[in-house]
Amino acid sequence: MKAPKIQRDQVIRAALDLLDQEGLDGLTLRKLALVLDIQAPSLYWHFSGKQALIDAMADALVMNVVLPQGPDQAWDSRLRQIAAALRQALLKHRDGARVFAGTYVVSDNVLRINESMLEAFALAGVDLSRASTYSFSVLYYILGFVMEEQALGPHGEFDVASRKSAFEELAKRSYPRNFAAREAIFSTDFDARFSTGLELIIAGVKQQASETESKAAPSLTTAEGGASSAKRRSARRG
Amino acid sequence: MKAPKIQRDQVIRAALDLLDQEGLDGLTLRKLALVLDIQAPSLYWHFSGKQALIDAMADALVMNVVLPQGPDQAWDSRLRQIAAALRQALLKHRDGARVFAGTYVVSDNVLRINESMLEAFALAGVDLSRASTYSFSVLYYILGFVMEEQALGPHGEFDVASRKSAFEELAKRSYPRNFAAREAIFSTDFDARFSTGLELIIAGVKQQASETESKAAPSLTTAEGGASSAKRRSARRG
DNA sequence: ACCTGAACACCGTTCAAGT
DNA sequence: ACCTGAACACCGTTCAAGT
């Protein structure tokens, strides 16, 4: 909390560089020490162990995630912005999603992002308890999605072509819907897929909000009504 | 594919037993060999490597997941059944979700489960391409949820109490919504939380289905209309 | 405050060889 | 077809000691 964080940050930066070169499985304290021109045990002065290092890397990954600021942005566009920014941050480093998923860090940056999601849900008219489980759902979605995106990517840990042919052989035999969906399942248009899944969640929030609302004011019937009235009351509350 | 799978299955069973005792991080080929009364290198006759073993374990985990069968069950209740069965299967063994998440297995059982989800979405009136990304979303949700559930559980890898107090200290200072939501965030009523998140997804499907439908038949306006009309055409299609 | 040297107790995997 | 013995090339971590 004091001043001399300069050394510690150097270690984290070097670790993220090494991560890009070697991947998470190749990230080793000995290799990291080599890069830093020190001996491996020296790292234990900076971090209590490898997991603490990885926790710090996870926090650094999401450090620069830009969150919505203005009070006049609708809740759904806020959510889209947060999700996109988080995904991009995870994509920025090889195995980023795996690094982040392995560690349930309670860090400044994690809470900062979560706060912004809770705000968005509040604007949508979702109560706080629901909002907190919703934000977990969004997080799970993003992590799961990007983990798979990175596993299939250029540095991915497995061979897409052989995987696809194994899938097709199995699906063709016994699982007609899987077979029919094979192109969609192996689509590499990740932007489109990410958006489709995110919109599913957003649609769910709208639907839930409209249900809650119609109990309070039963005259509003459509989901559209619920969503736009939530937007209407979006003034401020911080 | 022939007959002598008896030995291979013994290895997998022993591995799952060992997993329960040692956790995924403690699961070692040497320990497994000891339990089986053989030497570690012998395992390489049965599996090409540790990852192949874990893939087989992941498949075994979901082997007995019971899927909806009757033609007269509504799509949403199907989805709830699949999700609950999958969660229970992952919970059955220590670190089950981590085992499953680490491996993007293309196995019989995975496709079987996915086929059932695709069926459910088809009954909801979702086209196949969307359905395939929706089923991934559901999978990500379940995996993320259970991973956290198990990380916080009795064998969990970290201390909940110290985590909570770290959270509270940070949240109290700068993140009012996180602080206000602290009880919900650290709630251990996992059944309720799981259901809340799943219902969010189900609500999203309803909303999306009603939107798609209102393009085709603009007279139906409410989300309820979309959902129930989807149920109406739920005859059969296999 | 920061780092080293040496060691401990492990890993997954390979491979020639046994039966 | 199934297993062993011996070895290789690593790991994370501890700890007394140095500066």
Task: Give the tens place of pLDDT for each residue, B192-206.
Answer: 999 999 999 999 999
Does residue B227 carry a pLDDT above 90? no
C-alpha Rg value of chain A to the nearest Å: 22
CB contact under 8 A, B177 and A143: no
What tens digit of pLDDT does each residue of A106-119 get? 899 999 999 999 99
**How many CB atoms neighbour CB A191 within 10 A?**
11
What tens digit of pLDDT does each residue of A18-75 get? 999 999 999 999 999 999 999 999 999 999 999 999 999 999 999 999 999 988 999 9
Give the residue from B201, B135, B82, B65 showing the smallest Cα distance to A205: B201
Which chain A residues are Cβ-neighbours of B163 within 8 angstroms?
104, 106
CB contact under 8 A, A181 and B137: no
- The C-alpha angle B148, A197, B85, rounded to 5 degrees, equals 50
Distances, alpha carbon B59 to alpha carbons A69, B19, B62, B90, B109, in Å: 45, 14, 6, 11, 6
- Please give the pLDDT value at position B234: 41
A29 nearest nt, CA–C1': D12
Residue nearest to nucleotide C15 (CA to C1'): B41
**Domains, chain B, with CATH or none:** 6-59 (1.10.10.60), 69-212 (1.10.357.10)
> Which residues have a Cβ under 8 Å from the Cβ of B88 and sit 6 or more positions away?
none
**How many CB atoms neighbour CB B178 within 10 A?**
25
| Mean pLDDT in residue range B160-171 | 91
> Which residues have a Cβ under 8 Å from the Cβ of A96 and sit 6 or more positions away?
A61, A89, A90, A146, A150
| SS3 call for B38 | coil
Indicate yes or no: pTM above 0.75.
Answer: yes
CB contact under 8 A, A203 and B203: yes
Report whether B128 contacts A181 (CB < 8 A). Answer: yes
Does residue A182 carry a pLDDT above 80? yes
Residue A6 φ then ψ, to 5°: -65, -45
- Please give the pLDDT value at position B63: 96
Distance between CA atoms of A177 and B117, rounded to whole angstroms?
10
Our measurement of CA A24 to C1' C15, in angstroms, reads: 29
**How many CB atoms neighbour CB B158 within 10 A?**
13
- Least CB–CB distance from B111: residue in A139, A163, A178: A178
**How many CB atoms neighbour CB A153 within 10 A?**
16
